[in-house]
């Protein structure tokens, strides 16, 4: 007994420790998530501030150069000279003014290129001043493509970064169009050596931080790895590997494009997103510089960047872990003394009762909650003994009654199922499937799909030699009520065809309407019960190449694979409370054209992402796409299209579709 008690105590303490750990582990995980959230928050703030700082550095360095280049290009003296390039006086004045601009430029270098002659004038401090062109641009040379692309651009200026990798020289060219009203006379601008700027901007000592400059299109203009920099962007398109999008997985490129568009829409502000760059998850911060048409980007690897002081974080984690361990030990000792020991005694009594020994004595000493629990447990054991004696007899009686009820229910269910299956067999027997196959063969197909085992849709066919009457009917209701309506409707249609013949579908509809009203006029039906039906009938005379259509709320579609047309039916159903008017409509009978009648069960079927109906427009487009195929393939395509659109949605209504064509 002592060994058993010690084992129970050890198990109880172990269970208590496990329970505490189950509580503390989620708390630890939540704490870690909190720390991660703090780190991400400060990381995003760091990336935003760093990007904003670099943006202002770029503006301070380049904005002044761009402003001077634009003033040079807008000079009246420059425009007058390029309009009359052979005038030495105008040339001297323009170049003298350009020399004044050169002295204000940071690297003291400018160029003027004529769009009329192609002459390229360039002066800097490395060569003596020259009033003659350095060379003549040629549109057939790829290295001169930047100039002719600038002439064609609608923008007033563009900035072209040219990297000389062997010399490790990065030059920024400010290309500004010289315009006289709507006419582009040439290009003027300045050059800026970015070696020092790149040393300060790109080659940062911050661990886990990668500054990048992108063009408006996403081409890399400045990067720590010079192999990724796209050069001569004024006249060509950057390769994929020379764009930031090309460095990201394909699934993340759309998010980058959206962030770049957001930055363009809000210049001066910073947009952020998470992306996988160089195989690591990094935070990207973007800010757009509209004056330069550049994106300033900072990629921050939060696992490498020192966003939060790691020593402080480790110390806090160690203190928290020690405190939790101490609290856990105190909690275990207290609970063992106050709870586990009394419960162990109660456990021995409960085990005996669980084996059927209701006479066992349950200890109930003391006045605390556990003693109260022992006394309540003793009273429960007595009641349990009394109830157990009566329970088995009551369970046997109720089980016998339930088994008898289940047998009766199964028998009734089987009778109902057999009756509905027999009704389905009868309903299928009235469908003219064999007559259609004998007369039309492969020139027709039928899609008949009741919502339940039986339904309210059916189709009709009657032939008189080379003349046919074919149609579909949609009776109100589903299941058994709808199936019974089809019997009445079929009888009324047969009577109408016997009385009016088949040459006028409209006359058949009128006789059918009259027959239905005569059948139901003496029936005391509630107003909520609908007895109307939709119908569409087509008369085909192959000898005279003639086709006539009439309908009640069901249209006739036809398509040759290039166009699709339809004739709507009458606005009122047969048997409606207000009597409808039906008229014959001549329809062209063309070889190779597919004609289709369909009930609203196909058109109203719910599906797609929003659960909307299939719809007439989508159905007409589908008919046009499949009309050129053999009818067997058309039937498969129409069924597959409906199944794909329906997806997991339940069938809403009975569906009937009948298509035919003639050679």
Look at residues 305, 252, 297 and name the one whose alpha carbon lies nearest to residue 275. Answer: 252
Share of the chain above pLDDT 90, in %: 35
> CB–CB of 184/177 below 8 Å?
yes
Cβ partners under 8 Å of residue 471, min gap 6: 459, 460, 461, 505, 535, 536, 537, 538, 597, 658
| DSSP for 471-511, written as a single string | EEEEESS-HHHHHHHHHHHHHHHHHHHHHH-SS-HHHHHHH
Mean pLDDT check: name the lowest of 174-183, 255-264, 366-375, 605-614. Answer: 366-375
> CB–CB of 431/458 below 8 Å?
yes
Tokens of 481: 């009520």
Residue, of 479 and 19, whose pLDDT is higher: 479
Q: What is the Cα–Cα distance from 301 to 281, expressed in whole angstroms?
A: 7
pLDDT digits (tens, 9 = 90+) for 55-89: 887 777 778 888 899 999 999 999 999 999 899 99
The rounded Cα 86 to chain-centroid distance in angstroms is: 63
578 and 500 assigned to the same domain: yes
Last residue of a domain, one of 176, 196, 216: 196
pLDDT at 500 over 90: yes
User: What is the residue range of 82's domain?
Assistant: 75-196
- Scan for tokens 């962007």, then name that residue: 233
Is residue 324 situated within a structural domain?
Answer: no
Strand partners, 442: none
Q: What is the Cα–Cα distance from 46 to 397, expressed in whole angstroms?
A: 76
SS3 116: coil
> CB–CB of 73/188 below 8 Å?
yes
Is residue 122 situated within a structural domain?
Answer: yes
This prediction has a pTM of 0.44
Strand partners, 565: 558
Q: What is residue 81's predicted lDDT score, i.e. its pLDDT?
A: 93
> CB–CB of 570/554 below 8 Å?
no
> CB–CB of 214/54 below 8 Å?
no
pLDDT at 182 over 60: yes
99 and 224 assigned to the same domain: no
- CA geometry: angle at 661 spanning 657 and 663, to 5°? 165
> CB–CB of 653/478 below 8 Å?
yes
Is residue 415 situated within a structural domain?
Answer: no
476 and 577 assigned to the same domain: yes
Termini Cα distance of the chain: 98
Q: What is the Cα–Cα distance from 302 to 612, expressed in whole angstroms?
A: 46
> CB–CB of 272/255 below 8 Å?
no
pLDDT digits (tens, 9 = 90+) for 263-292: 898 888 888 889 888 888 888 889 998 867
Number of domains forming the structure of the chain: 3
46 and 82 assigned to the same domain: no
The rounded Cα 327 to chain-centroid distance in angstroms is: 49
Is residue 361 situated within a structural domain?
Answer: no
pLDDT at 468 over 50: yes
Is residue 170 situated within a structural domain?
Answer: yes
DSSP letter at 250?
A: G
Sign of CA dihedral 209, 215, 221, 225: positive
Q: What is the Cα–Cα distance from 197 to 54, expressed in whole angstroms?
A: 11
141 and 241 assigned to the same domain: no
216 and 91 assigned to the same domain: no
- CA geometry: angle at 253 spanning 249 and 255, to 5°? 125
622 and 479 assigned to the same domain: yes
> CB–CB of 174/64 below 8 Å?
no
Strand partners, 296: 213, 287
pLDDT digits (tens, 9 = 90+) for 347-358: 777 777 776 666
Look at residues 163, 206, 228 and name the one whose alpha carbon lies nearest to residue 298. Answer: 206
pLDDT at 388 over 90: no
514 and 656 assigned to the same domain: yes
What H or E segment, with its residue span, contains residue 634? helix 631-646
DSSP letter at 290?
A: T
pLDDT at 234 over 60: no
- Residue 478 CA neighbour count, 13 Å, CB half: 11
Last residue of a domain, one of 138, 170, 196: 196
609 and 632 assigned to the same domain: yes
- Scan for tokens 């004056």, then name that residue: 291
Is residue 350 situated within a structural domain?
Answer: no
191 and 210 assigned to the same domain: no
Residue, of 657 and 85, whose pLDDT is higher: 657
pLDDT at 3 over 60: no
Last residue of a domain, one of 258, 280, 301: 301
How buried is 393 (Cβ within 10 angstroms: 0-12 exposed, 13-18 middle, 19+ buried)? exposed
Tokens of 535: 């119908």
- CA geometry: angle at 355 spanning 351 and 360, to 5°? 65
Residues found in the chain:
663
CATH of the domain at 116: 3.30.450.20
Is residue 117 situated within a structural domain?
Answer: yes
Confidence class for position 657, pLDDT limits 50, 70, 90: very high
CATH of the domain at 444: 3.60.40.10
- CA geometry: angle at 222 spanning 292 and 140, to 5°? 75
| DSSP for 562-623, written as a single string | S-EEEE--BSS-BT-SS------EEE---TT-EEEEE-HHHHT-EETTTTEE--HHHHHHHH
Cβ partners under 8 Å of residue 346, min gap 6: 362, 363, 370, 373, 374, 377
What H or E segment, with its residue span, contains residue 287? strand 280-289
> CB–CB of 650/433 below 8 Å?
no
Is residue 331 situated within a structural domain?
Answer: no
515 and 542 assigned to the same domain: yes
Q: What is residue 97's predicted lDDT score, i.e. its pLDDT?
A: 92
150 and 288 assigned to the same domain: no
Q: What is residue 179's predicted lDDT score, i.e. its pLDDT?
A: 92
């Amino acid at each position: 007994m002592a060994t058993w008690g010690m084992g129970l105590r050890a198990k109880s303490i172990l269970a208590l420790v496990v329970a505490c750990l189950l509580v503390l582990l989620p708390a630890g995980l939540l704490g870690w998530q909190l720390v991660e959230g703090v780190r991400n928050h400060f990381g995003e703030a760091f990336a935003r501030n760093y990007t904003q700082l670099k943006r202002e550095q770029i503006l301070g360095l380049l904005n002044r150069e761009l402003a001077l280049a634009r003033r040079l290009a807008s000079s009246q003296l420059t425009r007058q000279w390029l309009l009359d390039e052979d005038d030495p006086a105008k040339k001297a004045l323009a170049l003298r003014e350009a020399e004044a601009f050169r002295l204000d430029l940071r690297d003291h270098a400018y160029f003027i290129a004529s769009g009329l002659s192609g002459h390229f004038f360039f002066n800097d401090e490395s060569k003596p001043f020259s009033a003659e062109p350095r060379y003549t641009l040629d549109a057939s040379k790829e290295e001169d493509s930047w100039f002719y692309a600038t002439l064609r651009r609608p923008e007033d200026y563009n900035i072209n970064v040219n990297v000389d990798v062997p010399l490790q020289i990065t030059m920024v060219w400010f290309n500004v169009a010289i315009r006289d009203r709507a006419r582009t006379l040439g290009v003027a601008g300045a050059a800026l050596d970015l070696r020092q700027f790149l040393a300060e901007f790109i080659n940062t000592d911050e661990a886990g931080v990668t500054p990048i400059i992108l063009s408006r299109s996403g081409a890399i203009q400045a990067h720590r790895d010079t192999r990724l920099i796209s050069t001569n962007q004024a006249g060509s398109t950057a390769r994929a590997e020379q764009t930031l999008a090309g460095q990201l997985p394909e699934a993340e490129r759309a998010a980058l494009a959206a962030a770049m568009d957001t930055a363009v829409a809000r210049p001066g502000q910073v947009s952020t997103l998470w992306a996988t760059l160089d195989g690591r998850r990094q935070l990207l911060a973007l800010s757009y510089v509209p004056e330069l048409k550049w994106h300033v980007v900072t990629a921050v690897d939060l696992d490498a960047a020192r966003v939060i002081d790691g020593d402080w974080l480790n110390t806090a984690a160690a203190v928290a872990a020690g405190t939790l361990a101490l609290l856990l030990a105190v909690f275990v000792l207290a609970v063992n003394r106050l709870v586990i020991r009394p419960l162990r005694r109660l456990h021995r009594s409960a085990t005996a009762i669980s084996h059927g020994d209701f006479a066992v004595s349950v200890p109930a000493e003391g006045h605390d909650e556990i003693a109260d629990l022992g006394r309540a447990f003793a009273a429960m054991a007595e009641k349990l003994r009394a109830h157990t004696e009566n329970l088995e007899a009551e369970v046997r009686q109720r089980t016998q009654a339930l088994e008898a009820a289940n047998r009766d229910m199964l028998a009734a269910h089987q009778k109902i199922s057999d009756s509905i299956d027999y009704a389905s067999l009868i309903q299928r027997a009235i469908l003219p499937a064999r007559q259609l196959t004998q007369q039309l063969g492969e020139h027709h197909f039928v899609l008949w799909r009741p919502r339940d085992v039986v339904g309210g849709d059916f189709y009709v066919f009657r032939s008189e030699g080379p003349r046919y009457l074919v149609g579909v009917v949609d009776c109100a209701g589903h299941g058994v009520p709808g199936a019974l309506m089809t019997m009445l409707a079929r009888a009324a249609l047969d009577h109408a065809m016997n009385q009016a013949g088949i040459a006028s579908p409209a006359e058949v509809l009128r006789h059918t309407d009259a027959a239905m009203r005569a059948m139901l006029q003496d029936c005391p039906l509630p107003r909520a019960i609908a007895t109307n039906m939709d119908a569409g009938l087509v008369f085909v005379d192959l000898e005279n190449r003639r086709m006539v259509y009439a309908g009640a709320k069901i249209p006739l579609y036809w398509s040759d694979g290039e166009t699709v047309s339809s004739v709507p039916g009458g606005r009122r159903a047969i048997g409606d409370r207000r009597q409808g008017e039906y008229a014959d409509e001549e329809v062209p009978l063309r070889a190779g054209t597919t004609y289709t009648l369909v009930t609203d069960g196909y058109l109203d079927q719910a599906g797609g992402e929003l659960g909307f109906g299939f719809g007439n427009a989508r159905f007409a487009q589908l008919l046009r796409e499949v009309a050129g195929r053999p009818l067997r393939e058309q039937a498969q395509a129409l069924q597959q299209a409906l199944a794909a659109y329906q997806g997991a949605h339940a069938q809403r209504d009975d569906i009937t579709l009948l298509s035919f064509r003639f050679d």
